[in-house]
Structure 1
């Protein structure tokens, strides 16, 4: 029986992962920067310009959002550490998307490198 880690390793072997050094250029060249974490993770901080499409809803959002339906879109994905993004990239490839990559190390590596992060202000109820 395969473990979650086995599936992630298999997905990483079958998809393109960009290094943290190359991530900013990949994002500049992308049509879409997609955060596949959960809504609470996204709200706590995300990469500038990212849209939220949780991995659990990925196939449904891609199928129902005309702006994301073009199979030739250049998409960069990320999650917390890169496992979910690799699985999402593999799923997108199986759906026919041609230009999908993920960021090695994910949000945690990006944040640890001191790169820009958007942290929406929460309303204060005082």
Structure 2
């Protein structure tokens, strides 16, 4: 009986593997398949991001925190655009024309910016950076902020 169940399980797995993609032409154009063909998101420490901002003034900084956090005690990076992660489907469509531009995403630590970066990657953005440690670490290092 056990041998029969093992054999049946193996056949089931093989069948799933063999026929799993049939009839799914949309899957080739899905955000997930597009993300597989797009470079991975870079997660960089604040020191490297600060250097990028000093040397590449064309980089776009997107702060994905809430308005309260953006205006709060941690402040924000000068020139950063506030685009809350809760609204990312709306604002991502607005910046689709900038898919090849360097986009630096920052939040409080790295959770929301990482999520936003992966979403933008799935839309075909190719030069994405999520800031490790976010604004907490940016402040800890003493880098300039606007409040």
Question: Would you say same fold, with TM above 0.5?
Answer: yes
Q: Which runs of 4+ in 1 moved over 3 A?
A: none
Q: Does the 8 Å CA contact 1:76/1:103 hold for their aligned counterparts?
A: yes
> Residue 18 of structure 1: CA displacement?
1.0
Out of 74, 77, 98, the residue aligned to residue 47 of structure 1 is 77
Structure 2: runs of 5 or more not aligned: 1-39
Indicate conservation of the 8 Å contact 1:62/1:69, yes or no. Answer: no
Structure having the larger proportion of residues in helix: 2
Please tell me whether the aligned partners of residues 36 and 78 of structure 1 are also in contact (alpha carbons under 8 angstroms).
yes
Report the TM-score when normalising by structure 1: 0.76
Would you say the 8 A contact 1:27–1:76 is kept in 2? no
- Residue-pair matches, total: 104
Structure 1: which 5+ residue stretches go unaligned? 1-13, 120-126
1:77-123 alpha-carbon deviations (Å, 9 max, x no partner): 1000011101110000001101011111000000111110101xxxx
2:51 to 16, 25, 29: 25
Greater mean alpha carbon deviation, residues 19-28 or residues 70-79 = 19-28
Query: Cα offset for 1:39?
Result: 0.7
Instruction: Name 1:71's counterpart in structure 2.
Output: 99
CA distance in 1, matches of 2:91, 2:140: 30
RMSD (Å) for aligned C-alpha atoms:
1.5
Closer/same/farther in 2, CA of residues 112 and 87 from structure 1, 3 Å limit: same
